[in-house]
């Protein structure tokens, strides 16, 4: 490429719009990182400009510190992995006191992910985080398959989902994004319930519940027996759910599940996702988010698309 | 700081059956890596195996900018890696994890390695020797043919003793028996150990009985390698009780006495 070409390209890139609005959250680009796969962001600083990401969705936070599950917590499976971390985290006070100020000083767009055992705990967390500077929105973890109480049970019952979202909404002025579980018969029923509860946007999907057995030991591999399946193995399921919900519910969607490259990201955007999250792929390639942001820009240049919003939902039935 | 490098494989050979030495050019990582740290290698571009595999650094050539890892074929990932030809680029991330410390006040230290656990002790022995710390290596394997790493210690002139489960070379028995014997007859101010957990547990007991400080290196299934996913948790003691520590970023090296082992964990 000649110097002139490079200059032209740089100029063209500057004119591309990658900004998206996810239910009131202004993201500088649609590429975010999934809760639990990126720590608090600092862990990846040697590899990624974390302030350049659309958002960092930080590790799930509970009211009190959680120790997490015994080991083994993870195991690789074909084109994927199972995890049962058990929401290990230092609790909301440490998050607010230590991590949030450091993220804020770096200019990172932060989405906090909250989880609890009871509806009241979610509401209290929302109240505690409301008004804390530096949080763009709240992701509700109502779909964690790896904790004994709460988590998944909240996310599979439409009545509970609606109540939960409403309870959280009443305690915060921040945009609220429930993260939906794929471990349900009809994802659109859950999505509609979240909408009726007042959700501003939806994240889908969380992991698919699965397991692995150690044949030599004749026992489940994971100490927790079951774990959440993530990675490219679940991408077709995730994509289908985004595509379905995008047609049924008038809320912006954060699409995630097995996105490994720019084309995968484009598939989710075309299926109706306004933004996407990278999860397991961070483990495979710590620089993948930066590459996908650049990849989206290249795609836009090649296809003469000035605004990323123009391709959102492009594959949905007209 | 950690980085990802496209590392050219310059040497790859089966040392003893199923045990391989792999050397590749990764100047940035080679410049920074300390004994006990590891690299995370992406085995293939395909989606299966998906995750990187962690390998402790066996030796470093800072002038050449190369790193050598030593591994045993144990599953799909290492099997595939063992077929990697030379002159191919390998996707390597590192250096990762906490390194061994250098006990400058020690007169003599013991390095205890079980099986493939000898890997991080080779580079460590070289650094200790260069610091003028007297070093004695105790290495164990199931049988004489699997006593890998011997040639490296010979090359560096580091004295070593061996044990084999079948008695085909050295002491017949476990390397921890060898350690117990040596602690009776020789001076030891500090212990470094790497190997199976049962071995590390016994090393910990022996060291604590005699009030000898030291460090052990753990291994575990990992995903991210940087402390983000919390997948490689291991129980450690805290002031008030216990917690899970991340092997990848808080370890893989831990102080002797810090780690809680599975048999202690059965409540």
Same domain, B110 and B174: yes
Shortest distance, CA B31 to any CA of chain A (angstroms) = 16
Best mutation target among A36, A38, A43, A91 (most B Cβ atoms within 10 Å) is A43
Domain CATH code at residue B12: 2.40.30.10
Q: Which of B81, B96, B111 is the last residue of a domain?
A: B96
Whether residue A74 and residue B42 make contact (CB cut-off 8 A), yes or no, is: no
Asked if the C-beta of A88 comes within 8 angstroms of chain B's C-beta atoms, the answer is yes
Same domain, B149 and B76: no
Question: A258 contacts in B (CB within 8 Å)?
Answer: none
Q: SS3 sequence, B57-124? A: EEEEECCCCEEEEEEECCCHHHHHHHCCCCCCEEEEEEEECECCCCCCCCCEEEEEEEHHHHHHHHHH
Residue B20 has pLDDT above 50, yes or no: yes
CB B125 within 8 A of CB B137: yes
Domain CATH code at residue B253: 2.10.240
pLDDT, residue A156, reads 87
pLDDT, residue A232, reads 98
CB A223 within 8 A of CB A73: yes
Residue in chain B lying closest to A90 (CA): B243
Whether residue A39 and residue B227 make contact (CB cut-off 8 A), yes or no, is: yes
Same domain, B110 and B122: yes
Residue B265 has pLDDT above 50, yes or no: no
Q: How confident is the model at residue A148 (pLDDT cuts 50, 70, 90)?
A: low
| Residues B71-109 pLDDT 10s | 999 999 999 999 999 998 999 999 999 999 999 999 999
Same domain, B198 and B117: yes
CB-based contacts of B50: which residues, under 8 Å, 6+ apart? A76, A79, A80, A81, A231, A232, A280, A284
- pLDDT (mean) for B138-163: 91
pLDDT, residue A144, reads 61
Whether residue B51 and residue A283 make contact (CB cut-off 8 A), yes or no, is: yes
Nearest to A31 by CA among A264, A310, A239, A304: A264
Residue A2 has pLDDT above 70, yes or no: no
Interface size A-B, in CB pairs within 8 Å, comes to 102
Residue A193 has pLDDT above 70, yes or no: yes
Q: Which of B45, B66, B96 is the last residue of a domain?
A: B96
Same domain, B81 and B116: no
Instruction: Report the distance separating Cα A59 and Cα A118, nearest Å.
Output: 19
Asked if the C-beta of A286 comes within 8 angstroms of chain B's C-beta atoms, the answer is yes
Report which of residues B264 and A288 the model is more confident about. A288
Residue A216 sits at φ, ψ, to 5 deg, of -65, -40
**Residue with token string 């060291």:** B207
Asked if the C-beta of A90 comes within 8 angstroms of chain B's C-beta atoms, the answer is no
- pLDDT (mean) for B227-254: 95
Q: SS3 sequence, chain A? A: CCHHHHHHHHHHHHHCECCEEECCEEECCCEEECCCCCCCCHHHCCCCCHHHCCEEECCCECCCCECCCCCCCEEEECCEEEECCCCCECCHHHHHHHHHHHHHHCCCCEEEEECCCCHHHHHHHHHHHCCCCCEEEEEEECCCCCCCCCCHHHHCCHHHHHHHHHHHHCCCCCCEEEECCCCCCCHHHHHHHHHHHCCCCEEECCCEEECCEECCCCEECCCCCCEEEECHHHHHHHHHHHHHHHHHCCCCEEECCCCCCHHHHHHHHHCCCCEEEECCHHHHCCCHHHHHHHHHHHHHHHCCCCEHHHHCCCCCCC
Same domain, B212 and B226: no
Residues of B within an 8 Å Cβ radius of A:
1-4, 42, 47-52, 93, 220-235, 243-244, 249, 265
Asked if the C-beta of A78 comes within 8 angstroms of chain B's C-beta atoms, the answer is yes
Residue B10 has pLDDT above 60, yes or no: yes
Please pick, among A58, A63, A144, A246, the residue that the annotation labels catalytic: A144
Whether residue B223 and residue A286 make contact (CB cut-off 8 A), yes or no, is: no
Residue A264 has pLDDT above 90, yes or no: yes
Asked if the C-beta of A70 comes within 8 angstroms of chain B's C-beta atoms, the answer is yes
Considering CB atoms only, which of B47, B49, B224 is closest to A232? Answer: B47
Same domain, B51 and B109: no
pLDDT, residue B239, reads 86
Residue in chain A lying closest to B234 (CA): A71
- pLDDT (mean) for A285-289: 98
Q: Which of B75, B96, B117 is the last residue of a domain?
A: B96
Q: How confident is the model at residue A273 (pLDDT cuts 50, 70, 90)?
A: very high
The tally of domains found in chain B comes to 3
Asked if the C-beta of A283 comes within 8 angstroms of chain B's C-beta atoms, the answer is yes
- pLDDT (mean) for A53-59: 98
The highest-level CATH class for domain A3-311 is alpha beta
Tell me the torsion sign for CA atoms B264, B54, A231, A276.
positive
First to last CA, chain A: 39
In chain A, where are the structural domains located?
3-311
Same domain, B191 and B104: yes
Q: Which domain holds residue B13?
A: 3-96
A201 is catalytic: no
Asked if the C-beta of A285 comes within 8 angstroms of chain B's C-beta atoms, the answer is yes
| Residues B174-224 pLDDT 10s | 999 999 999 999 999 999 999 999 999 999 999 999 999 999 999 999 999
Question: B47 contacts in A (CB within 8 Å)?
Answer: 79, 231-232, 260
Instruction: Report the distance separating Cα A110 and Cα A122, nearest Å.
Output: 18
Whether residue B229 and residue A76 make contact (CB cut-off 8 A), yes or no, is: no
pLDDT, residue A145, reads 60
| Residues B52-71 pLDDT 10s | 999 999 999 999 999 999 99
Whether residue A83 and residue B229 make contact (CB cut-off 8 A), yes or no, is: yes
Average pLDDT, chain B: 94
Same domain, B107 and B189: yes
Residue B149 has pLDDT above 90, yes or no: no
Shortest distance, CA B166 to any CA of chain A (angstroms) = 24
Domain CATH code at residue B110: 3.40.50.80
Average pLDDT, chain A: 94
DSSP state of B260: P
Residue A165 has pLDDT above 80, yes or no: yes
Shortest distance, CA A198 to any CA of chain B (angstroms) = 31
Cα distances from A204 to residues A87, A274, B45, in angstroms, run 18, 12, 27
């Amino acid at each position: 490429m000649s110097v002139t070409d490079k200059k032209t390209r740089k100029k063209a890139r500057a004119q591309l719009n990658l900004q998206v609005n996810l239910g009131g959250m202004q993201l500088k680009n649609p590429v975010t990182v999934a809760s639990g796969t990126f720590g608090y962001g600092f862990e990846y600083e040697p590899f990624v400009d974390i302030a350049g990401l659309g958002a960092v969705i930080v590790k799930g936070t509970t009211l009190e510190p959680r120790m997490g599950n015994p080991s083994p917590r993870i195991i690789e499976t074909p084109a994927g992995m199972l995890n049962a971390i058990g929401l290990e985290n230092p609790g909301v006070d440490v998050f607010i006191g230590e991590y949030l100020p450091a993220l804020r000083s770096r200019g990172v767009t932060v989405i906090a992910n909250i989880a609890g055992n009871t509806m009241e705990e979610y509401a209290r967390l929302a109240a505690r985080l409301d008004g804390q500077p530096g949080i763009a929105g709240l992701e509700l973890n109502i779909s964690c398959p790896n904790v004994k109480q709460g988590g998944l049970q909240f996310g599979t019952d439409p009545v509970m989902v609606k109540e939960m979202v409403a309870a959280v909404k009443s305690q915060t002025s921040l945009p609220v994004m429930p993260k939906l579980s794929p471990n349900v018969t009809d994802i659109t029923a859950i999505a509609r319930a979240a909408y009726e509860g007042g959700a501003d946007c939806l994240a889908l999907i969380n992991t698919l519940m699965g397991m692995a057995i150690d044949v030599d030991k004749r026992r489940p591999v994971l100490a927790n027996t079951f774990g959440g399946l993530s990675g490219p193995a679940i991408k077709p399921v995730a994509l289908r759910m985004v595509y379905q919900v995008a047609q049924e519910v008038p809320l912006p969607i954060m699409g995630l599940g097995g996105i490994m490259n720019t084309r995968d990201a484009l598939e989710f955007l075309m299926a109706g996702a306004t933004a996407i999250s990278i999860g397991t792929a961070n483990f495979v390639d710590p620089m993948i988010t930066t590459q996908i942001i650049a990849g989206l820009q290249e795609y836009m240049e090649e296809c003469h698309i000035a605004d990323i919003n123009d391709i959102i939902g492009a594959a949905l039935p007209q | 700081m950690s980085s990802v490098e496209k590392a050219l494989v310059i040497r790859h050979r089966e040392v003893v059956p199923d045990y391989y030495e792999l050397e590749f050019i990764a100047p940035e990582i080679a410049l920074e890596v300390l004994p006990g740290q590891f690299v995370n290698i992406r085995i293939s571009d395909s989606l299966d195996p998906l995750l990187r595999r962690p390998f402790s650094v066996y030796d470093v050539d800072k002038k050449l900018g190369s790193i050598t890892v030593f591994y045993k074929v144990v599953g799909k990932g290492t099997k595939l890696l063992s077929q990697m030809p030379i002159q191919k680029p390998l996707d390597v991330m590192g250096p990762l994890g906490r390194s061994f410390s250098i006990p400058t006040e020690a007169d003599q230290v013991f390095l205890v390695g079980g099986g493939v656990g000898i890997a991080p002790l080779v580079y460590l022995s070289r650094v200790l020797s260069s610091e003028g710390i007297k070093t004695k290596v105790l290495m164990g394997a199931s049988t004489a043919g699997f006593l890998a790493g011997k040639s490296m210690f010979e090359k560096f002139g580091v004295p070593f003793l061996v044990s084999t489960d079948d008695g085909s070379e050295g002491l017949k028995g476990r390397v921890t028996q060898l350690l117990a014997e040596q602690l009776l007859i020789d001076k030891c101010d500090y212990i470094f150990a790497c190997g199976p957990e049962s071995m590390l547990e016994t090393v910990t007991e022996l060291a604590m009985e005699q009030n000898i400080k030291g460090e052990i290196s753990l291994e575990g299934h990992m995903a991210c390698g940087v402390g983000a996913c919390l997948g490689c948790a291991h129980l450690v003691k805290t002031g008030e009780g216990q917690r899970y520590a991340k092997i990848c970023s808080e370890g893989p090296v831990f102080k002797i006495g810090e780690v809680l082992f599975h048999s202690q964990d059965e409540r």
